[in-house]
Amino acid sequence: MDILPFFSLGAGFLFYALIKFFHKVWWIPMRIQFLMGSQGIRGPSYRFIYGNTKEISTMREKSMGGPMELSHHIFPRLQPHLHSWFKLYGMSFLQWHGATAELVVTDPEFVKEIMNNREQYYPKPEADVFTKKITGDGLVASKGEKWTKLRKLANHAFHAESLKARVDTQEISVEGIIDECKTFYTAGHGTTTLLLSWAILLLAINTDWQEKARQEVLKVLGCGRPNSEGISRLKLMGMIISETLRLYPPAVSLTRKVQREVRLQNLILPANMNLNIPALALHHDPKIWGEDAHLFKPERFSEGVAKATNNRPSAYIPFGLGPRVCVGSSFAIDEVKIVLAMILQRYTFTLSPNYIHSPIQVIAIRPKHGVQVVLHAF
């Protein structure tokens, strides 16, 4: 039997696969790099297949390899690549996650337009395998009609809007319920626990603010059980939590995808690139918050977020922004207020000499060795 036709067919398929491969990992990156460069957007050079992932991984391993001094200046530690490349390329630049281009965006007006996503130009990208295993395909990762349905249910659940939500939940499959349990544990319980941990750390260090918060709790709640009406009146506590979320936000960055070629302010963005919004960098930017941006100063929020950010509220995004803002943010903050109030009613606390300050980022920002404090009953 003549095998030449089969060999030729196989060679043709192989040639087609190679062309498709090189188009994805070489032609498209080179085209995007040229298009963005022609608009004044620079960045670290694209490296074949890997992009900048190896550089980023090496820099992060080095910066987070050991403990740091007791400081809240954690941005260079957790995102050393951004800290370095901002200095080299400016506050908006192009980096590469493998063969995928990522435009790093820090202009609050850009952030507002992207996150509000009124024209549906900037959806969430597909979650990677690791993230899906942890959060499932629930409210955080889903898109389109599925997300709309789950969001509606979540709004009902958190705000107790109607009995109909209980009926609607019957339409969710067993797999859907499992995904939502993963989501609520990871994005809900995990985020709340970390917020509480960082708030305890900050109050253990800043005992003057701890005492202010205690006096407010005793004035509003006395020694009684916290209730919803009283919790809503804890203004200083709210300021403390807002400042904690600024210094140690749940997510260091948010990612959106450019669905199709679109104009973003003065830039033309090609399709299928990602937009990286570095929340931690925004929260620690001295141009927005002042030269004391790395200090714990809850009084920043005494007149609200708009005043704290000099009328650039999209520079403060601990729970995201726009239609996909975290549905449980108010619930999480109330949970933390309740726990802190109950602690402050009974104890003073100071930082343990055994505490090692070693913030790391594993999905969220977390203390590598936990937070150890010494409780003093009164």
Active site residues: 191, 319, 326
Q: Which long-range contacts (CB under 8 A, 24 or more apart) does 281-286 make?
A: 281/75, 281/79, 281/82, 281/83, 281/86, 281/106, 282/106, 282/108, 282/111, 282/315, 282/316, 282/317, 283/246, 283/247, 283/249, 283/315, 283/316, 283/318, 284/73, 284/74, 284/75, 284/247, 285/106, 285/315
State the maximum Cα–Cα separation within the chain, in Å, rounded to a whole number. 94
Annotated binding site for heme: 326
Instruction: Indicate the SS3 state at residue 339.
Output: helix
Q: Which residue type sits at 85?
A: W
Residues 36, 90: Cα–Cα separation, whole Å = 14
Q: How far apart are CA 209 and CA 344, in angstroms?
A: 11
Mark 310-337 as b/e (b = at least 16 C-beta within 10 Å).
Answer: eebbbbbbbbbbbebebbbbeebbbbbb
Burial of 223 (0-12, 13-18, 19+ CB in 10 A): exposed
E strands of 73-177, at which residues? Answer: 93-97, 100-104
Residue 77 in contact with residue 64, Cβ under 8 Å? yes
